[in-house]
Amino acid sequence: MSNRIDGSPPKQRRLPAFLDHFNTRDLKIFFRCWAAAWVAALLIFIGPVADNFGSATFFACLVLFMLPPSGVLFVFILGSLSLYIGIGLAWAWGVITMKAALAARPEADTQARVAALQQAAATEAQSTGSSAAGIAQRMIYDGWMLDARVTAVVYCMLCVFIYFLSRLRASNPKTAFTAIFGIIITDLFLCYGPLLPSFNGTLPLALVKPAAAGTGLGFACSILFFPQSTSDIVLEGIGDLLRLMEDSLQYSASALSKESEPLDPQQLQNRRTKIIGQYRKLDPSFGFLPLDFSIGSWGAETVATFKEPMRQLSAVILSLAEFHKSAIESRLKTQELNKSPSDTKELVERDQEKKHKKEKKANKQWKVGAHHLAQVADLVKGLQYTEDHSVDPDVANEFTRHSTAAMDACLEGIRATGECVRFVERQHWYHKASPTAHEELYERTKTVLEKLRQTKTSFLHDMTESLITGYAQLFENDGPDENTRADQVAGIIICMNFQEHMANALDKTEGLLARMSDVFPEATRIRLWWPTSLKYAARWMLGKKDKAPTLAPASDDDPDQASAGDATQSAQEKLRIRRGYRPRTRHPLGKAVIGTYHWLTCDEGLYALRMVVVTIAVSIAAVLPHTAGFFYREKGFWGLIMAQTGLLVYMADFTFSVLARLAGTIGGGVLGLLAWYIGSGNGPGNPYGLSAVLAVMLIIFLWIRLYLPPNLLAGGIMGAATFLLVVAYSYVDTHNPTYGDPGVGYNVFWRRLLLVLIGIGAATIVQMLPHPPSASRHVCKSLSRSLRTLSDHYALLLSCWGRAGNEGKTITEPIWLELTESLVLLEPMIYNLRFEFSSSQFDSKSLGQVKQLCHALNGFLARLIAASATLPQEYKDRLAQQMGILDHRCIGEIMAVLGVCEQALRTGDAPPEILPTPLVRRALDFWQTHQTEYLLSADMVRDEDYRRYCVALGSYVRFLGKIDELVLVIKGVLGEAHLVSKDLIDLV
Shared domain for 728 and 850, answered yes or no, is no
Which neighbouring-strand residues pair with 961?
A: none
Torsion sign, CA atoms 838, 842, 845, 850:
negative
Share of the chain above pLDDT 70, in %: 81
Residue 579 lies in a domain: no
Compute the distance between CA of residue 447 and CA of residue 147 in angstroms, rounded to an integer.
83
Compute the distance between CA of residue 854 and CA of residue 963 in angstroms, rounded to an integer.
9
913 CB contacts (<8 Å, ≥6 apart)? 371, 976, 977, 978, 979, 980, 985
C-alpha Rg value of the chain to the nearest Å: 33
Q: How confident is the model at residue 8 (pLDDT cuts 50, 70, 90)?
A: very low
Shared domain for 830 and 728, answered yes or no, is no
The conformation of residue 28, written as its DSSP 8-state character, comes to H
Alpha helices for 543-686 (secondary structure H):
559-563, 566-579, 588-601, 603-619, 628-633, 636-646, 651-680
**What is the tens place of the pLDDT at every residue in 515-555?**
988 888 877 777 777 766 666 555 655 555 555 554 433 33
Number of structural domains (the chain) is 3
Shared domain for 608 and 523, answered yes or no, is no
Shared domain for 794 and 677, answered yes or no, is no
Q: Indicate if the pLDDT at residue 979 is higher than 70.
A: yes
Q: Indicate if the pLDDT at residue 824 is higher than 50.
A: yes
CB 949, CB 878: distance < 8 Å: yes
Q: Is 295 left (phi over 0), alpha (psi -120 to 50) or beta?
A: beta
* Cα–Cα–Cα angle for 584, 589, 591, rounded to 5 degrees: 50
Residue range 841-869: mean pLDDT, rounded: 87
Task: Phi first, then psi: give them for residue 844, nearest 5 degrees.
Answer: -60, -40
Residue 683 lies in a domain: yes
Residue 572 lies in a domain: no
Exposed/middle/buried for residue 115 (C-beta within 10 Å: 0-12, 13-18, 19+)? exposed
Residue 374 lies in a domain: no
pLDDT higher at 282 or 666? 666
Shared domain for 729 and 840, answered yes or no, is no
Tell me what pLDDT residue 358 has: 42
Q: Is 226 left (phi over 0), alpha (psi -120 to 50) or beta?
A: left
Share of the chain above pLDDT 90, in %: 19
Which neighbouring-strand residues pair with 428?
A: 431
Q: How confident is the model at residue 10 (pLDDT cuts 50, 70, 90)?
A: very low
780 CB contacts (<8 Å, ≥6 apart)? 840, 842, 847, 905, 906, 908
CB 714, CB 663: distance < 8 Å: no
Residue 86 lies in a domain: yes
A 10 A CB-CB count for 684 gives: 12
Compute the distance between CA of residue 502 and CA of residue 511 in angstroms, rounded to an integer.
14
Shared domain for 782 and 909, answered yes or no, is yes
- What is the residue range of 901's domain? 775-987
The conformation of residue 967, written as its DSSP 8-state character, comes to H
C-alpha closest to that of 239 among 532, 527, 409, 25: 25
One-letter identity of residue 452: L
Q: How do strand 294-296 and strand 364-365 relate by DSSP bridges?
A: unpaired
963 CB contacts (<8 Å, ≥6 apart)? 857, 894, 897, 898, 901, 917, 919
Shared domain for 691 and 753, answered yes or no, is yes
Of 733, 768, 803, the domain-final residue = 768
Residue 982 lies in a domain: yes
Which helix (H) or strand (E) segment holds residue 348: the answer is: strand 348-349
Could you tell me the CATH number of the domain that includes residue 518? 1.20.58.220
C-alpha closest to that of 463 among 496, 505, 510, 504: 496
**3-state secondary structure (DSSP) of residue 943:** coil
Torsion sign, CA atoms 601, 604, 608, 613:
positive
722 CB contacts (<8 Å, ≥6 apart)? 664, 665, 668, 669, 672, 749, 752, 753, 756
| Residue 366 exposure: Cα atoms within 13 Å on the Cβ side | 18
pLDDT higher at 342 or 171? 171
Alpha helices for 681-745 (secondary structure H):
687-707, 713-735
Residue range 267-275: mean pLDDT, rounded: 82
Shared domain for 653 and 671, answered yes or no, is yes
Shared domain for 856 and 798, answered yes or no, is yes
Helical packing angle, 844-870 and 944-974, nearest 10°:
160
Tell me what pLDDT residue 894 has: 92
Residue 707 lies in a domain: yes
- Whether cis (ω within 30° of 0) applies to the bond prior to 770 is yes
Lowest mean pLDDT among 251-260, 429-438, 633-642, 964-973: 251-260
Q: How confident is the model at residue 25 (pLDDT cuts 50, 70, 90)?
A: confident
Cα–Cα separations (whole angstroms), residue 316 to 264, 309, 634, 817: 20, 11, 60, 12
**What is the tens place of the pLDDT at every residue in 318-358?**
888 888 777 777 777 666 655 544 444 443 344 444 444 44
C-alpha closest to that of 920 among 957, 890, 866: 957
Of 751, 768, 785, the domain-final residue = 768
**3-state secondary structure (DSSP) of residue 774:** coil
**What is the tens place of the pLDDT at every residue in 653-707?**
788 888 888 999 999 999 999 999 888 877 777 888 899 999 999 999 999 998 8
Compute the distance between CA of residue 233 and CA of residue 551 in angstroms, rounded to an integer.
13
Helical packing angle, 775-801 and 566-579, nearest 10°:
50
Torsion sign, CA atoms 949, 954, 955, 959:
positive
Q: How confident is the model at residue 984 (pLDDT cuts 50, 70, 90)?
A: low
CB 298, CB 523: distance < 8 Å: yes
Which helix (H) or strand (E) segment holds residue 296: the answer is: strand 294-296
Which neighbouring-strand residues pair with 527?
A: 296
Which neighbouring-strand residues pair with 296?
A: 527
C-alpha closest to that of 192 among 633, 616, 623, 634: 623
pLDDT higher at 455 or 480? 455
C-alpha closest to that of 303 among 547, 560, 10, 516: 516
pTM: 0.79
593 CB contacts (<8 Å, ≥6 apart)? none
CB 910, CB 974: distance < 8 Å: yes
639 CB contacts (<8 Å, ≥6 apart)? 618, 755, 756, 758, 759
**What is the tens place of the pLDDT at every residue in 48-58?**
888 888 888 99
Q: How confident is the model at residue 560 (pLDDT cuts 50, 70, 90)?
A: very low
Shared domain for 857 and 888, answered yes or no, is yes
Which neighbouring-strand residues pair with 349?
A: 364
Cα–Cα separations (whole angstroms), residue 964 to 103, 326, 917, 925: 69, 14, 7, 16
Shared domain for 609 and 733, answered yes or no, is yes
Q: How do strand 527-529 and strand 364-365 relate by DSSP bridges?
A: unpaired
End-to-end alpha carbon distance in the chain = 52
Shared domain for 310 and 457, answered yes or no, is yes
Q: How confident is the model at residue 413 (pLDDT cuts 50, 70, 90)?
A: very high
Residue 523 lies in a domain: yes
Compute the distance between CA of residue 400 and CA of residue 707 in angstroms, rounded to an integer.
40
| Residue 841 exposure: Cα atoms within 13 Å on the Cβ side | 14
Q: Work out the mean pLDDT of the chain and round it to a whole number.
A: 80
Q: Is 386 left (phi over 0), alpha (psi -120 to 50) or beta?
A: beta
Compute the distance between CA of residue 757 and CA of residue 665 in angstroms, rounded to an integer.
10
Of 768, 791, 808, the domain-final residue = 768
**3-state secondary structure (DSSP) of residue 258:** coil
Could you tell me the CATH number of the domain that includes residue 872? 1.20.58
Tell me what pLDDT residue 3 has: 40
- Whether cis (ω within 30° of 0) applies to the bond prior to 918 is yes
One-letter identity of residue 615: T
